[in-house]
Chains A and B, each alone.
Chain A
């Protein structure tokens, strides 16, 4: 067991954990932020996607000991003061979710993409999103939501 200080959603948290513990379980169990999901544990499904300095990473294989001073953002950190981010809003407007289990991960991957490339072409979207499985098959709606988020962003600003 070791002590770690990690910055999650702009807040410093102290956690005591085995250094090998994946960030996923620290977020879910030590910080009680359960929006980040477990799906496979081997970086194949994307349900656990969070941002590390703005980059989408799979938290199920990222040990807490590797976080250091880097900034973590989870799905709970996207909405500020009860307002929805432009990506979350697009997701609501396109009514993307079926079971909804994958959607936090999808939104984190989409947000990382749109923060880098505000109007990504289809092949860029394909690359960014193909690591996130949606077992319910909401892919066509996810694509629509990304496109509408991208045009909203151009008119509105960021998250």
Chain B
């Protein structure tokens, strides 16, 4: 059993919820949602009153529980897994739980309301457990009074409080109204993992039934009374800005209400306000199609204010700055330069990847209703808190007067960490003086991205006469910064080691794309290690294990930032599950550690009509305690397909500052027939605190893909996308 302190930073569970005297009356729609048709959940009667136990938990008199899910739901399924953690410590039946999306509310929620960096579960683990345990404590305390039995003599079992002899019992629902005022102590007992009955099981996506029925869930679906529709037009190229446009003609178009230029610059922009185009044209009308038609009729004078970059410029710049760029980060162990110079044999390989876009299937959109001194913002955002403060600074309206509600989000991948579309919606609503939903056309979305930067890295290895690896070096550069993690594997496992990042520059807007930097580096490094193993005449998995053992037994240099023992476990697990040493020989392996999670993957290829095709993928994951097993598998399956898809097919190309491939006819995304036939996911079982899963499955997929392609084609792949006709980055 774990004792946990209920104070989390400055946020404390100690104060009671300040609950509403009797209970909390809630709207009719919410009540209806308690009825889940597919599982035919028990529902004795529709609750009349909900008692607010704390920010996360409401209980009604029949013991029905509503759990508010605090974080944005971008498809990582936190709307199911976060409430599962609360329900576990509350000790209720999952069947009695209804989940509702919480809004941005720092008073109610003690965990950061943020979806990014695979952090929701990692950062939510303690606060969510405390919320559940605090609720359970309050209910037992209330029962203790009611039954006149000492607190210590009461136990709970799935929503029922018993005395130790199990003769006397009382339902959570019966004491909920009396629990609301009970104070939570400074220290609380948490369950030990062996006692879990909800965590570690597989529970279906709580919104799965609504999704398949096409219910209104997403930002794009949101409707409000008197709501207007808006679209934007941004400069057609990076390095351009607007001068003037044919406003009068646009306003005369049918269904158009107004058109104007907005500026979303703020005095001290946060990192989340990255956006190349602060000044854009907004067209407002009644219906989307009308506004789209008006957009086509725009005639704009754009002026050049900066370089208009081409993909070819990018390639040359990366090449130059890989040699001469400013070093921004570096780790040096031993003397790799000398060892490389005196080596019997050396290996040098250069890897590269292009810019790519996030392409969330739901394009950027947001609803805003700006009034005199208050704002309502509703839509898909990974960083609601940051949006709130940016809108506050843009409009000069205090944050307390801004309400942010999160809708279900049609994909994130990092794109919705950035808040510009929320600012734009707010500015448009302010100008037009009405509630507005802003929607990007796919072309607007693809050409105004915060892209994954293009990267280039050069890897070198030295070998002695016995073909043993003696030195390793990597230098990487990106537009604008390098992709290398100097203290990650293989740091610590090679005595002469250099890892260095260099910077470059671009006026294309870039940012976090699922597993930032790792999404390139894992593929490059793991392909290079595969080539090294070949020269050393070692089995690729054995070779990786040897390096990891070296970092346990005689680590070189300063500290490194991975746990070699956990790394070894996933490699051994994937070796076993993939039957690595038998059957089809066209298998490639990769392993990677990022976002606190260890992953090893094996991809198996077959030839189908002279084309390599992925037949099977095996994946071993150590993310500590797994919350929702089948859904965790889903996340890993998706990230593997995502990694494979982008490495094989996707690239964003520029000509005169313009994105050339501005919709899915020109921008390739992996499709159904190109996906692996089977993905098998396995978890290392342990009781370590859970880490994130949204990202870490993706990076090693690219390495395993490149290595398996080598096994079946005899060709090494160095530049992404691997399958591309006009690959400007190919070597």
Contact = CB atoms under 8 A, between A and B. Distances in A.
A82 interface: yes
A12 interface: no
B664 interface: yes
Contacts of B208: 91-92, 95-97, 100
A126 B672 contact: yes
A104 B214 contact: yes
Interface string A23-58: 001001100111111111110110100000000000
B47 interface: no
Q: Which of B208, B439, B669, B678 has the most CB of A within 10 A?
A: B208
A139 interface: yes
Contacts of A17: 289
A124 B676 CA distance: 16
Contacts of A38: 220, 288, 363, 439
B362 interface: yes
Interface string B641-652: 110010000000
Contact of A25 (B217, B288, B672, B673): B288
B204 interface: yes
Secondary structure call for the A interface: loop
A103 B74 contact: no
Interface in B218-254: 218, 220-221, 223, 254
Nearest to B365: A38
Interface string A113-150: 00000000000011101101111111111110000000
A92 B289 contact: no
A3 interface: no
Interface string B405-439: 00011111100000000000000000000000001
Secondary structure call for the B interface: loop
A101 B672 contact: no
A135 B287 CA distance: 27
B664 A45 contact: yes
Nearest to B80: A95
Nearest to B360: A135
Contacts of A75: 212-214
Contacts of A14: none
Interface in A69-91: 74-76, 78-79, 82-84, 88-89, 91
Contacts of A104: 211-212, 214
B447 interface: no
B6 to A, nearest CB: 33
A79 B223 CA distance: 23
Given A44-B665, A99-B362, A107 B289 contact: no
A146 B599 CA distance: 29
Contact of A138 (B408, B412, B634): B634
B464 interface: no
B399 to A, nearest CB: 28
B35 to A, nearest CB: 9
Interface string B265-289: 0000000000000000000000111
Interface string B184-211: 0000000000000000001011011101
B286 to A, nearest CB: 9
A19 B634 CA distance: 42
Given A25-B289, A38-B220, A133-B664, A100 B639 contact: no
B641 A74 contact: no
B339 interface: no
Contact of B411 (A1, A74, A99, A126): A99
A113 to B, nearest CB: 12
B442 A39 contact: yes
A135 B205 contact: no
Contacts of B634: 95, 98, 138, 141
Q: Which of B290, B293, B362 has the most CB of A within 10 A?
A: B362
Contacts of A138: 634, 637-638
A126 B290 CA distance: 36
Contacts of A42: 442, 663-665
Contacts of B215: 35
Given A41-B442, A138-B637, A139-B675, A88 B213 contact: yes
B interface bracket (residues with beta carbon within 8 Å of A): 35 or more
Interface string B292-312: 010000000000000000000
Contacts of A91: 208, 211-212
B57 interface: no
Q: Which of A21, A33, A100, A143 has the most CB of B within 10 A?
A: A100
A37 B678 contact: no
Contacts of A20: 289
Q: Which of B38, B359, B634 has the most CB of A within 10 A?
A: B634
Contact of B673 (A39, A101, A126): A126
B226 to A, nearest CB: 14
B361 A25 contact: no
Contacts of B167: none
Contacts of A89: 38
Nearest to A108: B214
A140 B361 contact: no
A67 B412 CA distance: 35
B3 to A, nearest CB: 35
A33 B221 CA distance: 9
B442 A37 contact: no
Given A82-B37, A107-B212, A137-B670, A99 B630 contact: no
A21 B285 CA distance: 15
Contacts of B412: 99
B508 interface: no
Contact of A37 (B75, B212, B362, B638): B362
A6 interface: no
Contacts of B254: 1, 18
B705 interface: no
Contacts of B209: 84, 92
B218 to A, nearest CB: 6
Contacts of B461: none
Given A38-B220, A44-B664, A136 B212 contact: no
B211 to A, nearest CB: 4
B174 interface: no
B7 interface: no
B111 interface: no
A135 B675 CA distance: 12
A64 B728 CA distance: 42
Nearest to A100: B211
Contacts of A37: 218, 220, 361-362, 410
B547 to A, nearest CB: 30
Nearest to B641: A137
B289 A21 contact: yes
A137 B645 contact: yes
A8 to B, nearest CB: 13
Contact of B207 (A18, A96, A100): A100
Nearest to B669: A133
Contacts of B130: none
Interface of A: 1, 17-18, 20-22, 25, 28-29, 32-42, 44-45, 47, 74-76, 78-79, 82-84, 88-89, 91-92, 95-104, 107, 125-127, 129-130, 132-143
13 contacts: A34-B220, A42-B664, A75-B214, A89-B38, A97-B211, A98-B76, A100-B211, A103-B212, A104-B212, A135-B413, A137-B640, A138-B638, A140-B675
Q: Which 8 A-B pairs have the closest CB atoms?
A: A35-B214, A99-B75, A101-B410, A137-B641, A75-B214, A98-B75, A139-B675, A100-B211
Given A126-B673, A129-B672, 10 more contacts: A29-B287, A75-B212, A76-B214, A84-B38, A98-B76, A99-B361, A99-B411, A100-B208, A133-B669, A137-B645
